[in-house]
Chain A
Amino acid sequence: MLFDGVTVTGEIDYRFEKQQLIIKRDKQQLKIANLFIGIPVQALQVDAQVNGLNIIIDRFKARLLGGRVDFADLKLTAPSQTAIKLSALSLSEVIKYSAYPEIDAQGIIDGLLPLSLTEQGPAIKNGVISARYPGYIKVPENTVVKAMGKDNPAFAFTMQVLTNLQFDSLQGVLDYAANGETSLNVEMKGINPNLSRARAVIFNYSHNENILQLLKSLRFNERLNKQIEERY
């Protein structure tokens, strides 16, 4: 994991009274300017209280994929819960780090993800995401797609519709298990103006992937590229 610009500041004010430790003030702050976990995270700031081993995150904020991620009041000892707020994530940035970086997209994504911290780790159930404004996805008709569509007209038509899907609405549900398994079900409603301006297109996309493995793989790619650049 790569990072730079780390600042840690801590304030603790305590006194002993009748053989008891009384903490009057406990404020810790961690700031990281740039963090690479597989995707870049910038301006990360964590405000926390370190009360013995019971760490409580008062506030977490960071810049992620062109937008912001925020949550507050999370106890780091299970069980606990909070709601992660995603604001104005760029759809093109999300796609850039997905399995299909060649897809051209435009959209602003907001989300609210209820996070539960269990003994097994963090999990999200029924997180919702939606596009703030209309946008588009354009899947390029590359040679592989064309070859696959040659013997499968249904696939060829699907890909043709996706070459220019101008959506009015994009809504999705996200679930995340502690082992990293993530499922995302998205519904986009719009049109493909190249095919018809009157005929609506409903695109239901379901995606299952282990996000922890994806991040690991992205980190590996970054490390490999760096090693090659440094050595040769």
Chain B
Amino acid sequence: MLKRISILLTLFFTIAGCTPRVELAVPEEPITINLNVKIDHEIRVKIDKELDELFSEDSGLF
């Protein structure tokens, strides 16, 4: 009987001993990423115009 109680007590203390470990497993703060992107097509359009001239029939490129 005493042996059984001691096993139960050991189990109880084991469980009690485990409790702080569970708390340690709380997930960390989330990683927050803020990314702001502004795309301006003005430069691209200018390049496009230059390319248009480059690829025109009389450019002599080809």
Contact = CB atoms under 8 A, between A and B. Distances in A.
B57 to A, nearest CB: 9
B45 A217 contact: yes
Contacts, number: 73
Interface string B6-25: 00000000000000000000
B31 A205 contact: no
Contacts of A224: 51-52, 55
A203 B28 CA distance: 16
Nearest to A203: B33
Interface stretch (A22-30, A72-80, A193-201): A193-201
B27 A99 contact: no
Given A198-B27, A199-B27, A224-B55, A204 B35 contact: yes
A3 B29 CA distance: 51
Interface string A25-46: 0000000000000000000000
A84 interface: no
A206 B38 CA distance: 8
A228 B55 contact: yes
A220 B55 CA distance: 12
A143 interface: no
A186 to B, nearest CB: 10
A90 B37 CA distance: 21
B45 A216 contact: yes
A200 B28 CA distance: 8
Interface residues of A, number: 30
Contacts of B44: 217
A86 interface: no
How many chain B residues sit at the interface, stated as a range, is: 20 to 34
Nearest to A154: B33
A174 interface: no
Contacts of B5: none
A94 B33 CA distance: 21
B35 A158 contact: yes
B38 A209 contact: yes
A232 interface: yes
14 contacts: A161-B33, A192-B31, A199-B28, A199-B30, A200-B31, A203-B33, A204-B35, A207-B39, A208-B38, A208-B39, A210-B39, A214-B39, A224-B52, A228-B55
Interface of A: 99, 158, 161-162, 192, 195-196, 198-210, 213-214, 216-217, 220, 224, 227-228, 231-232
Which 7 residue pairs of A and B lie closest in terms of their CB atoms, listed nearest first? A200-B30, A213-B41, A209-B39, A208-B38, A198-B27, A206-B36, A202-B32
